[in-house]
Amino acid sequence: MNRPTQSVSAFAGMAVLGATLIWSYASLTTSHASNPSPVAESHQAMTTGSLPAAGFTEVAKSVTPAVVNITTSAAEQVSDSIHPRGRAEDFFGSPFAPRRFGPPVEPRERRGGGQGSGVIVTPDGYILTNNHVIDEAKTVTITLPDKREFKGQIVGSDPKSDIAVIKIDGRQLPAIPWGDSSRLQVGEYVLAVGNPFGLSSTVTLGIVSALGRGRMGITQYEDFIQTDAAINPGNSGGALVNTRGELIGINTAIFSQSGGYQGVGFAVPTSMSKPIYESLVKTGKVVRGYLGIGIQDLNQELAKSFSLKGTSGAVVTDLKEDGPAEKAGLKQGDVIVSFQGIPVEDAMTLQRAVTRSVVGSKAVVKVMRDGHEKDLSVAIGELPDNQQVAKTETGLSDQPLAGLAVQELDRETAQELGLKGKLQGVVVTNVDPESEAERAGLMPGDIIREINRKAVASMKDYDRVASNLKKGQNVLVLINRRGASLYLSAKV
């Protein structure tokens, strides 16, 4: 069975967009490093914008021997009443398998599995691929383009980035050198190499369509390279290389309405995959940096509320007790505008920078607090397995108080809402449909903790603060929703 993509789950995740996210196998890495190009003609063509007369034959020859086929097997319980099919077959259909009809029978065990691609990155047999290629696999078989076959050992995997590392017992194996994806530019030529539909050593050409793609809902940590190089089921875990034959990414997913390639593919850049690879090889796990904060993006209304001229930055909505950020002096309502001297455009930019920071190192964080800049030094902690570096949410803006019913937050109500620890405020019990409160994004169960930076610990506080609001005034409301803090901003 060929399990090249996670098409069904991807389809469900993107249903509201009328399209599907399909996992695909391939790897990518791009750079303009000083290493010599495999083909001088190809390199010159890249600088002039034209294709070389011979195409990219030398690049293809140098990288295809290192892109392997990965076949996995796993036991699963199935019934013979209907022909069992894998995820890819559920989506694409299986024209080669006979249909089976008849009365139901007892489930039996059969060997399921999948197929994808991987990239040899060291001559002694370390292979980089996608986590979803080897997920739940009991056995892993690696087949090289020269038909040599090896039993693969899973070194480690990271579902949060969809990266995994496999080891085979080999010597002097062909390997693709690492490239520097941080130097990649939109419009550069790239090649995707993999085994689409089981067709080994397939090479496709395209360009880099976009960089830094996130918020796709594919993985928890996203910083994708988008390309129009053809990626199809079976390409997952394969290589994305630049015109120097360097690995710049691992092909991971496609965006499609038909289930097949439609010109939009995504790859995990080496700027993310290489540190993960090194961590898995060294420790068997992935170590990420951690600040212990909750953050959200700014919009125009929030920027005004925090006396900011632009919408760049990330608002601190929560602080983990005794976490690195709290110990460094960060406060709720601070707007982080730079991290280690690099401007913070939004919450995702900060998340990427923090997770890639070395645990135990010191980081300079610049915040805007009450209209003034402040530099703080934070000791980067290690992200716990069950934590996120920052939970980001996007606030809606409009008048948040009209059409709102609230009540005192007592112990019984807190228990009903599943709240833990000490939490003060008033709980929203009802929001009138089509009211300003509903348009602001407030919902029953929200806990209002602040209004215009003034604490709301009781109904008395709420009435006092709300009564002083004037029509047309910009209002900043801090709420707690299912344990996460969120700012809303609007005009009364």
- The distance between the two most distant Cα atoms of the chain, rounded to a whole number of Å, is 78
Out of 236, 271, 485, 489, pick the active-site residue: 236
End-to-end CA distance of the chain: 60
pLDDT digits (tens, 9 = 90+) for 183-206: 999 999 999 999 888 788 899 999
pLDDT digits (tens, 9 = 90+) for 321-355: 889 999 999 999 999 999 999 999 988 889 888 98
Structure confidence at residue 227 (pLDDT):
92
pTM for this predicted structure = 0.59
Is the pLDDT reported for residue 249 higher than 50?
A: yes
Mean pLDDT (the chain, rounded): 76
Active site residue 435: no
pLDDT (average), residues 388-397? 42
Cα dihedral value 192, 195, 199, 200, nearest 10: 90
More confident residue, 337 or 403: 337
Query: Worst-scoring range by mean pLDDT, 79-93, 109-123, 268-282?
Result: 79-93
Structure confidence at residue 35 (pLDDT):
44
3-class secondary structure, 304? helix
Active site residue 273: no
The number of C-alpha atoms within 13 Å of 149 and in the hemisphere containing its C-beta is 3
Question: How far out from the chain centre does Cα 188 lie?
Answer: 23
**Distances in whole angstroms, Cα of residue 191 to Cα of each of 22, 142, 393, 439:** 19, 22, 36, 46
Q: Which domains does the chain have, with CATH numbers?
A: 1-283 (2.40.10.120), 289-392 (2.30.42.10), 395-491 (2.30.42.10)
pLDDT (average), residues 81-87? 32
DSSP element (H, E) containing 277: helix 270-283
pLDDT digits (tens, 9 = 90+) for 99-140: 232 344 444 444 456 789 999 999 999 999 999 999 888 899
Out of 162, 228, 334, 398, pick the active-site residue: 162
Contact 157, 167 (CB under 8 A): no
Q: Which of 41-45, 251-255, 357-361 has the highest mean pLDDT?
A: 357-361
pLDDT (average), residues 61-90? 62
Out of 24, 27, 31, 132, pick the active-site residue: 132
Active site residue 312: no
